[in-house]
Amino acid sequence: MGRIVVISTGGTIASRWQGSGFAAAAGGREVMATAPVPEGVTVEVVDLFSVNSPRLTTAHQLTLLRAVHGALGDPGVDGVVVTHGTDTLEESAFLVDLHHDDPRPVVFTGAQLPLDTEDGDGPRNLHDALLTAARTRGLGVLVAFDGKLHAARGVVKTQTVAADAFADPSGPRIGAIGFGKVSVLRHPQRPAPLPLPAGLDVRGGLPRVDMVMHHADGDPLLLNAAVDAGAQGIVLVATGAGNATPETVEAVAAARSRGVLVALTTRVHSGPVTEMYTHGGAVDLVAAGAVPTGTLRAGQARIAVLSALLAAPEPYERERVLRHALALPAAENAEAASPTAEAAALVRA
Three-class SS of 286-312: HHCCCEECCCCCHHHHHHHHHHHHHHC
Quote the CA–CA distance of 303 and 155 in Å, as a whole number. 13
pLDDT of residue 313: 86
Chain Cα centroid distance, residue 322: 14
The alpha carbons of the chain give a radius of gyration, in whole angstroms, of 21
| Contact status, residue 105 vs residue 79, Cβ threshold 8 Å | yes
Which residues, 6+ apart, have CB-to-CB distance to 12 below 8 Å?
22, 24, 85, 86, 110, 111, 112, 113, 114, 115, 122
Asked if domains 2-184 and 209-348 share a fold, the reply is yes
pLDDT of residue 204: 56
pLDDT of residue 341: 46
- Which of the following is catalytic: 9, 12, 34, 295? 12
By C-alpha distance, which of 198, 84, 232 is closest to 152?
Answer: 84
pLDDT of residue 347: 42
By C-alpha distance, which of 249, 250, 255 is closest to 275?
Answer: 249
Assigned CATH class of 209-348: alpha beta
The full set of domain ranges for the chain reads 2-184, 209-348
pLDDT of residue 172: 94
Which residues, 6+ apart, have CB-to-CB distance to 283 below 8 Å?
275, 276, 277
- Whether 274 is catalytic is no
- Whether 132 is catalytic is no
CB-based burial of residue 3 (10 Å sphere; 0-12 exposed, 13-18 middle, 19+ buried)?
A: middle
Tell me, yes or no, if the pTM score tops 0.75: yes
- Which of the following is catalytic: 58, 86, 136, 266? 86
CA distances, 137 to each of 28, 117, 156, 180, 226 (Å): 25, 33, 23, 17, 41
Query: The domain 2-184 is classified under which CATH number: 3.40.50.1170, 3.30.365.10, 3.40.250.10, 3.30.420.40?
Result: 3.40.50.1170
Q: Which residues pair with 145 in a beta bridge?
A: 148
In a structure prediction context, what are the per-residue pLDDT tens digits for the chain, which is 349 residues long?
Answer: 699 999 999 999 999 999 999 999 999 999 999 999 999 999 999 999 999 999 999 999 999 999 999 999 999 999 999 999 999 999 999 999 999 999 999 999 999 999 989 999 999 999 999 999 999 999 999 999 999 999 999 999 999 999 999 999 999 999 999 999 999 999 999 999 999 987 655 555 899 999 999 999 999 999 999 999 999 999 999 999 999 999 999 999 999 999 999 999 999 999 999 999 999 999 999 999 999 999 999 999 999 999 999 999 888 899 999 999 999 887 754 444 444 444 444 344 4
Helix, strand or coil, per DSSP, at residue 181: strand
Quote the CA–CA distance of 253 and 63 in Å, as a whole number. 34
